[in-house]
């Protein structure tokens, strides 16, 4: 049976991302999100909840890892993706991937949701 080796969650106010969009803060969005994430979110009628939940997922990952953005991790080292059925997942690159695997983690699970004013994400790591 797999052992839980990390757990993180994050709650984000959607209005924060709506304000970024309204103020045209493109540089912030480019720093936080990959081109694929921006393309997906900005194609939505209301992109803010989709951006917020992706940010929450990245924060939850960093909390599960226990490092924050230290050790050279960049926001774009983590990308929220969806499979054919819509199930969310995280693709890790660069330092995020290195620290995840060197930490003895073998599998990452992501659950996320947005409703009303908030977006929520939880990340669980399973050890090898």
Q: 12-30: per-residue pLDDT in tens?
A: 999 999 999 999 999 999 9
Q: Give the pLDDT confidence score for residue 122 in this predicted structure.
A: 98
Q: Which residues contact 70 (CB under 8 A, 6 or more apart)?
A: none
Q: Catalytic residue among 50, 58, 63, 105, which?
A: 63
The answer to whether the predicted template modeling score (pTM) of the entire model surpasses 0.85 is: yes
The answer to whether residue 63 is catalytic is yes
Check whether 128 has a pLDDT greater than 80.
no
Q: Give the pLDDT confidence score for residue 68 in this predicted structure.
A: 85
For residue 57, how many other CB atoms are within 10 A of its CB? 29
Q: 58-94: per-residue pLDDT in tens?
A: 999 999 999 888 888 999 999 999 999 999 999 999 9
According to DSSP, the residues that pair with 90 across neighbouring strands are 80
Q: Give the pLDDT confidence score for residue 69 in this predicted structure.
A: 85
The answer to whether residue 25 is catalytic is no
Q: 40-68: per-residue pLDDT in tens?
A: 999 999 999 999 999 999 999 999 999 88
Identify the structural domains of the chain with CATH numbers, from first to last. 4-127 (3.90.470.20)
Q: Is 84 exposed, middle or buried (CB count within 10 Å of its CB: 0-12, 13-18, 19+)? A: exposed
Q: Catalytic residue among 50, 58, 105, 114, which?
A: 114
- The pLDDT confidence band at residue 96, using thresholds 50, 70 and 90, is very high
DSSP conformational letter for 28 = H
Tokens 């969806």 belong to residue: 82
Check whether 119 has a pLDDT greater than 80.
yes
| 102/100 Cα distance (integer angstroms) | 6
Q: Give the pLDDT confidence score for residue 73 in this predicted structure.
A: 95
| 59/97 Cα distance (integer angstroms) | 15
């Amino acid at each position: 049976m797999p052992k839980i080796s990390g757990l993180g969650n994050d709650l984000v106010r959607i209005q924060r991302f709506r304000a970024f969009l309204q103020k045209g803060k493109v540089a912030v969005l480019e720093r936080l999100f990959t081109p694929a994430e921006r393309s997906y979110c900005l194609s939505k009628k209301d992109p803010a909840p989709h951006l917020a939940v992706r940010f929450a997922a990245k924060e939850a990952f960093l909390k599960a890892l226990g490092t924050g953005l230290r050790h050279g991790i960049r926001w774009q080292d983590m990308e929220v993706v969806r499979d054919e059925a819509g199930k969310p997942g995280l693709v890790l690159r660069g330092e995020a991937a290195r620290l995840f695997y060197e930490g003895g983690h073998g599998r990452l699970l992501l659950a996320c949701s947005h409703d009303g004013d908030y977006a929520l994400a939880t990340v669980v790591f399973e050890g090898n």
